[in-house]
């Protein structure tokens, strides 16, 4: 086998940008965290202009530019909400924010007018799409080969579909999401009890063993690529709460036995403004020594980690240097803006080389993958070009083959290996 570096000649500094951009465009990425759903999960899958416009990132922006009270907004039909957001954020104001610009990028990708006075044309276009052909087309426009879903076994709409048997789809991977169980045990233990698991309100006795049995049953049903939980900025581990006990006695052993990672998304300040519903969460700096204790205390477990606070990013890189069972991923939610993505990604490249996953889309509406991945590629191009430029300046030639290998590692194989491999 020839060495990969022998395959193509070294690039001059002036050729780096074109090579990086061409490879970024050509390599299909894996989207490691979304809220999209495979077709067999039916109506859970959202798409089209009304869903794009009522995305909670945009609802949050509406209340800054329109005097409508949240309660009044929620009483409107989805169509009226979308019309209001369009008028307020796209017609009466220029859509310069990241989330608004995203909608215009989607419209542009489909050849639709982004400056229309109303949504008639867009609604007609999206209503005419047939999911079977449309999903692959959207993935192609986004430059992704597959997405990872978020699947909550206690979601009253989703769980029954899985229980009846949902047809798997090779472009959508399942994830067993644990927020209800780990963060809201008092509200949700009765749902487990009603399904025949011997659990109690204080999570004592057989409870943790029974949660393990529950996870095992859902592992068999969903075949998840990892388990996942979002966590507050106040997250501590270990502590004497139910969450720590469930993590130590049910979730971590289950991940070990199924040989899958646990994804920890840390730093949410839940519902600081409940009137905004899904848009009502904020961010807080977390104490990452909890992560240190998890990574050090459970070396046989692997952790995919995203932290929401900008202030926690550097610490996360330091911990990833200490513990190879940590895989930093994504620039999550309020961080997914070019200025912050640039800062975080440069920091990660400088501290971790190519041993991290730069981004996920967090898409909730199918077409969002088009703009979110377009933006990621646009931000990453100059960062990688500059990184290779410095290397060339410091005397190390770079080939196109190496650039391809690095981008493939960042956006595909780090995930593929980490999800299946034993920690080393």
Chain contacts with Zn ion (rule: CB under 5 A): 362
* Binding of ligand RAT by 230 (CB under 6 A): yes
The binder of 230, among ligand RAT, Zn ion, none, by C-beta within 5 to 8 A per type, is ligand RAT
Count of residues interacting with ligand RAT (CB under 6 A): 8
What would the x/- binding string for ligand RAT be over residues 324 to 353, using CB under 6 A?
---------x--------------------
Q: How far is the CB of 399 from ligand RAT (least distance, A)?
A: 37
Q: Which of 64, 72, 67, 115 is nearest to 90 (CA)?
A: 115
Find which of Zn ion, ligand RAT, none residue 247 binds, CB within 5 to 8 Å per kind: none
Residue with the CB atom nearest Zn ion in the bound state: 362
Query: Which residues, numbered 259-278, are part of the site for ligand RAT (CB under 6 A)?
Result: 265, 278
Q: How far is the CB of 122 from Zn ion (least distance, A)?
A: 25
Rounded CA-CA distance 343/98 in Å is 16
Nearest to residue 364, comparing CAs of 37, 140, 74? 37
Return the residue of 31, 362, 367, 406 that touches ligand RAT, per CB under 6 A: 362
Q: Which partner, Zn ion, ligand RAT, none, binds residue 23 by CB below 5 to 8 Å per kind? A: none
With respect to Zn ion, which residue has the nearer C-beta, 241 or 280? 280
Q: Which is nearer to Zn ion, 233 or 362 (CB)?
A: 362
Binding mask 274-303 for ligand RAT (x = CB under 6 A): ----x-------------------------
Pick between residue 284 and residue 381 the one whose CB is nearest to Zn ion: 284
Residues in contact with ligand RAT by CB under 6 A are 35, 150, 230, 265, 278, 333, 362, 364
């Amino acid at each position: 086998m020839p060495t990969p570096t022998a395959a193509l000649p070294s690039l001059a500094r002036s050729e780096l940008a074109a090579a990086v951009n061409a490879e970024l465009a050509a390599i299909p990425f894996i989207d490691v965290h979304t809220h999209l759903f495979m077709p067999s999960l039916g109506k859970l899958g959202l798409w089209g202009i009304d869903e794009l416009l009522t995305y909670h990132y945009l609802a949050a922006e509406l209340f800054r530019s329109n005097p409508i009270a949240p309660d009044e907004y929620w009483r409107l039909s989805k169509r009226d909400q979308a019309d209001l957001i369009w008028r307020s954020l796209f017609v009466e104001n220029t859509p310069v924010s990241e989330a608004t610009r995203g909608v215009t990028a989607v419209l542009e990708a489909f050849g639709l007018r982004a400056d229309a006075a109303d949504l008639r044309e867009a609604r007609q276009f999206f209503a005419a799409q047939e999911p079977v052909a449309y999903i692959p087309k959207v993935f192609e426009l986004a430059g992704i080969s597959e997405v990872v879903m978020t699947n909550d076994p206690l979601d009253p709409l989703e769980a029954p579909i899985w229980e009846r048997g949902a047809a798997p789809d090779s472009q959508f991977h399942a994830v067993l999401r644990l927020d209800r169980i780990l963060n809201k045990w008092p509200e949700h233990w009765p749902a487990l009890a009603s399904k025949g698991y011997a659990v109690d309100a204080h999570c004592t006795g057989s409870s943790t063993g029974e949660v393990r049995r529950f996870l095992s049953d859902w592992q068999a049903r969903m075949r998840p690529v990892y388990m996942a939980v979002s966590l507050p900025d106040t997250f501590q581990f270990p502590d004497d709460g139910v969450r720590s006990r469930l993590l130590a006695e049910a979730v971590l052993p289950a991940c070990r036995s199924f040989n899958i990672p646990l994804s920890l998304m840390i730093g949410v300040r839940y519902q600081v403004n409940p009137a905004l519903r899904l848009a009502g969460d904020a961010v807080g700096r977390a104490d990452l020594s909890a992560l240190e204790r998890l990574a050090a205390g459970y070396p046989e477990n692997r952790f995919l980690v995203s932290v929401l606070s900008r202030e926690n990013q550097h610490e996360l890189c330091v911990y990833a240097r200490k513990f190879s069972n940590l895989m930093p991923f994504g620039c999550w939610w309020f961080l997914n803006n070019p200025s912050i993505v640039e800062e975080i990604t440069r920091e990660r490249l400088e501290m971790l080389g190519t041993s991290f996953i730069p981004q996920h889309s967090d898409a909730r509406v199918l077409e969002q993958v088009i703009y979110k991945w377009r933006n990621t590629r646009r931000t990453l191009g100059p960062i990688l070009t500059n990184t290779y430029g410095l290397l060339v300046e410091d005397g190390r030639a770079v080939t196109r083959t190496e650039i391809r290998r690095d981008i493939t590692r960042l956006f595909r194989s780090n995930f593929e290996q980490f999800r299946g491999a034993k920690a080393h």
